[in-house]
Amino acid sequence: MKSPLTGKEMKRMVRKDQLVFRKETFSYLHHYYLCLDSNEEFTDEELDTINLNQVYNQYREKYNLPFPDEIKNTREQYGLSAAKMSEVLGLGINHYRLYENGDVPSISNARLIQAAKAPFEFKKFLLASGAFKESSLSTVLRNIDDLIAKQNDFFYNALPQYLMGGFEICKPSLYTGYITPNLDKVIELLVYFTQRLDVYKTKLNILLFYTDFYHFKHNGFGITGLCYRALQWGPIAINFDSIYEYAVNKGYIEIIYQQLNDEKYEEIFLHGPIQLSISLIDEFELSTAQYIIDRFCNISKKEIIQCSHQEKAWIENVETKNKISYEYAFELTEV
């Protein structure tokens, strides 16, 4: 960014700071540009978003409020518009859309949205609201009844939760990039990578890490909700082998084995026979994934491991194999 005072490029800086939100003070990392000639500080829309999201997410986590992706997922499971969700729940006409886009709901509205996540409860709200004419009401009710029937389905609920790390990390937190762990988005990202690269498993692991953390660095949210640990070969998603096995069994990716010089075998991931359209990952997230591909496509497995070993996220956690906080995203050096 160029200084509006001098027209010269400014240096991007970070410092610890505090911000008051709803009468509470929160600590966060303040991102800004410094004009070296005038010593004035400036921000743009991207930095304002990063700064505010850090504070909003702490508030959401402290009071167990739904995160934007949870609010969107709740609506989409019923196939309704944001305006209709507002009408059913008795909110202001634009409130639901604003919450999906990042506004923080009041605690009372948050509890209402959380209750609506359960199909059985949402059915009560729907019938009491009078928001639908009889002709369209039956279609929505059938959808809700289908969701109720799936609640005890192992493959619909329990298996995705297990693969994404289990009950311990099933909610958005600083270890999931403040995103609800989403197996379907992981699968879409794997498909996106393997459509464009034939990639070793170790390299794929690190590509996932850089994609999630780079996205967090630029807007305060990850993409997949994956939780990563610092292991010998780099930052690796929890349960990565089980996730890959699931994707292979579904036909979305394929694994072949290449013999190495030392008589060991390395797994190479290819695009699978089943076509899967990219529908859950949005354009902004895809641009992040493409940036990571462009950055590392000509980098060998050994080189990308070395890159990941330069990151503080790995250096400060590898000895204890700790989970990696997404706050380390702001200190990435290789992307």
Instruction: State the average pLDDT over residues 7-11.
Output: 93
Instruction: State the average pLDDT over residues 270-280.
Output: 91
Of 231, 232, 214, the closest CA to residue 223 belongs to 214
Could you tell me which residue, 264 or 123, shows the higher pLDDT? 123
Say whether pLDDT at 3 is over 90.
Answer: yes
DSSP 220: S
Q: Write down the pLDDT at residue 261.
A: 72
- pLDDT tens, 295-317? 999 999 999 999 999 999 999 99
Task: Give residue 258's pLDDT band: very low, low, confident or very high (50, 70, 90).
Answer: confident
Distance (Å, whole) CA 127 – CA 332: 50
Could you tell me which residue, 265 or 79, shows the higher pLDDT? 79
Q: Write down the pLDDT at residue 162.
A: 87
The bridge status of strand 265-271 relative to strand 253-259 is antiparallel
Sequence-ordered alpha helix ranges (H) in the chain: 45-62, 68-78, 82-89, 95-100, 107-116, 119-129, 134-150, 159-163, 183-196, 201-219, 240-249, 283-296, 301-308, 312-315
Say whether pLDDT at 243 is over 90.
Answer: yes
Q: Write down the pLDDT at residue 154.
A: 77
Could you tell me which residue, 157 or 3, shows the higher pLDDT? 3
Say whether pLDDT at 153 is over 90.
Answer: no
Instruction: State the average pLDDT over residues 173-200.
Output: 95
How far is the CA of 174 from the CAs of 208, 288, 328, in angstroms? 17, 19, 10
Task: Give residue 71's pLDDT band: very low, low, confident or very high (50, 70, 90).
Answer: very high
Distance (Å, whole) CA 53 – CA 58: 8
CB 308 within 8 A of CB 206: yes
- pLDDT tens, 75-101? 999 999 999 999 999 999 999 999 999
Q: Write down the pLDDT at residue 167.
A: 67
Q: Write down the pLDDT at residue 148.
A: 92
Q: Write down the pLDDT at residue 259.
A: 79
CB 192 within 8 A of CB 278: yes
DSSP 168: G
Of 95, 81, 94, the closest CA to residue 131 belongs to 81
Distance (Å, whole) CA 216 – CA 317: 19
Q: In what order do the strands lie in the sheet with 253-259?
A: 199-200, 265-271, 253-259
Strand partners of residue 229: 236, 323
Strand partners of residue 25: 20
Percent of the chain with pLDDT over 70: 99
Q: Write down the pLDDT at residue 166.
A: 73
In this predicted structure, which of 19-33, 73-87, 93-107, 145-159 has the lowest mean pLDDT? 145-159
Instruction: State the average pLDDT over residues 224-231.
Output: 96
